Amino acid sequence: MKADEAAELMDRDKETDQFKTRAAMVIAFFAMCLAITGLGGANATKEAFNSNIQAANFFAFFQAKNIRQTSYQLAADELELTALSNPALPADARKAIEAKVAAYKKTVARYESEPDTREGKKELLERARSQEEARDRALKQDPYFDYGEALLQIAIVLISVAIVASVPWLAYIGGALGLVGMLLSLNGFLLLVEIPGLS
């Protein structure tokens, strides 16, 4: 073997080693992004699930308050009609009925809005709608994480094959897919762009 041929082989080995080193670094970076994407996707799924349960709980509580409020309103109306339809009612009985009606109406008003406890119908609706918004946001995030995760996995596989087969163009395809996967994942966290078909 001539010296020129030996030098050329060493240069090729050096280029191959540099390619493998760079490709391994890209794989490591994409693997880190994949882990973060998986975490984001899992959190989005949990957030959607939990927010949906909370929204359902607040709506159920709202319905219970509404039923109780209606019961008190009906009872107050009935007592008022009783007092009006019976003019011969003794003063003590009329006074007791009026006190009961006032208490019922106070309860009806309290069920409508309780800012202190945030358990009035108005506040319960606000809380339920807030949970629905959180659920809807998490459901919008989830597909971006799913597709980002898939593309990052494919990228890692392609770059790994490129190292083993010494086929650099395969690494470029993997790198491009990995970048798209990263952008989708980033969009999953921030929801900067709404991509049709993914939301």
Instruction: Note the pLDDT tens digit of each residue in 94-127.
Output: 999 999 999 999 999 999 999 999 999 999 999 9
In a domain? residue 195: no
The pair of structure tokens assigned to 91 is 């003063």
> Residue 91: how many CB atoms within 10 A of its CB?
7
Asked whether residue 116 is assigned to any structural domain, the reply reads: yes
Contact 163, 174 (CB under 8 A): no
How many domains does the chain fold into?
Answer: 1
Residue 199 lies in a domain: no
- Structural domain boundaries enclosing 161: 3-190
Average pLDDT of each block of 10 consecutive residues along the chain (199 residues)? Answer: 52 72 95 97 97 98 97 96 90 93 96 95 97 97 97 97 93 97 97 88
pLDDT digit string, tens, across residues 135-154: 999 999 999 999 999 999 99
Residue 180 belongs to some domain of the structure: yes
197 within some domain: no
Q: Measure CA of the first residue to CA of the last residue in the chain; give whole Å.
A: 62
CA distances from residue 25 to 3, 13, 14, 32, 102 in whole angstroms, order as listed = 33, 18, 16, 11, 75
Per-residue pLDDT at 13? 57
Global model pTM greater than 0.85? no
Residue 61 CB-density burial (10 A; 0-12 exposed, 13-18 middle, 19+ buried) = middle
Rounded to 5 degrees, φ, ψ at 21 are -65, -45
Distances (CA, A) of 49 to 80, 137, 189, 194: 47, 12, 17, 22
User: What per-residue confidence (pLDDT) applies to 17?
Assistant: 81
